[in-house]
Structure 1
């Protein structure tokens, strides 16, 4: 059993609902921004200040057609989440967050595998797409170990749009990572 799950209940998966919005915003913020995020390894605190998301952004993912925010609970609390958005022959994977104190114990790997399984089973897609800030080498390497490949396709970071955070450096951009889902069955 994964270290992060020893002695506790198994995680359960469900689509987020409106009542989850405050807890999901808090989870996503804690995983990426501010001092609390430094307890995990996915922090962006060294490259971005400001917010990672807000209630409006989470609601948009929950309510958009062809989109869901997969919510992961354990022992009655939300411990992880990820966005899945059906985009033609692919699913976009984003807004991935694991509670900082649980990072590094295998929970994220399990959530990613479940997201890939659901994308293939529910939408019949053959690829999972995501964008990652290109300077996040450790995070990109984690995804590469799970079968994602760097495409070299970059999009600019939205400097000046505080909804994406306040950059602490001027070389940020997003790289598209892709995984062939094949026949996950």
Structure 2
């Protein structure tokens, strides 16, 4: 499996938003194991949101390509002396084949080389035990911090009430 990586630009925004939404929400997300379709409806992000992320200082979206097609994304952003990792997505039909592991390793290497950080962290919906387990197998540990689900997500998009995030982090070598 030959994968290539590059930074996203604003011209990629619509494709990135479509991939993220297809991996997390709606029926198409059920082809993979990262679906939030039983928890939330509506789009997770739109192209404008992608552009806002790309406009922020020390914020990049790394793309994973296979045969020139975008098959994975991950957002990393330097916050203080650490890096935040989010919107980690692999095309649902390709999940379970090792692309995610390689993409995560690439993102971790990138933040070390580019920002010289020694810690990377993320938030995961607390009831997504399969995702939490996946990240734990990759060296992430729960910090004990819990955050409320963002209030900007409308109640009508929430199929499950009282969602929370658990914070996870990994010390980088």
| TM-score, normalising length: structure 1 | 0.90
CA distance in 2, matches of 1:158, 1:101: 28
Shift of the 93–15 alpha-carbon distance from structure 1 to 2, 3 Å rule, reads: same
Check 1:165–1:110 CA distance in 2 against 1; reply closer, same or farther (3 A cut): farther
Classify the secondary structure of the residue corresponding to 2:96: coil
Of residues 146, 154, 167 in structure 2, which corresponds to 1:154?
Answer: 146
Shift of 1:160: 5.3
CA contact (8 A) 1:159 1:167 kept: no
* Pairing 1:91-170 to 2, within 5 Å after superposition: 91-159=83-151, 161-162=153-154, 166-170=157-161
Change (3 A) 1:85 1:36: same
Match of 1:74 in 2: 66
Q: Distance in 1 between matches of 2:111 and 2:152?
A: 33
Per-residue deviation, 1:50: 1.0
Deviation for aligned residue 1:165: 8.1
Unaligned stretches of 5+ in structure 1? Answer: none
CA distance in 1, matches of 2:57, 2:81: 16
8 Å Cα contact 1:51-1:165 kept in structure 2: no
**Residue-pair matches, total:** 173
> Does 2:168 correspond to 1:177?
yes
Return the alpha-carbon distance in structure 2 between the equivalents of residues 157 and 69 of structure 1: 23
4+ residue runs over 6 A deviation: none
Residue 99 of structure 1: how far off its partner (Å): 0.3
Structure number with higher relative contact order (C-alpha < 8 Å, ≥ 6 residues apart): 1
* Aligned Cα root-mean-square deviation (Å): 1.4
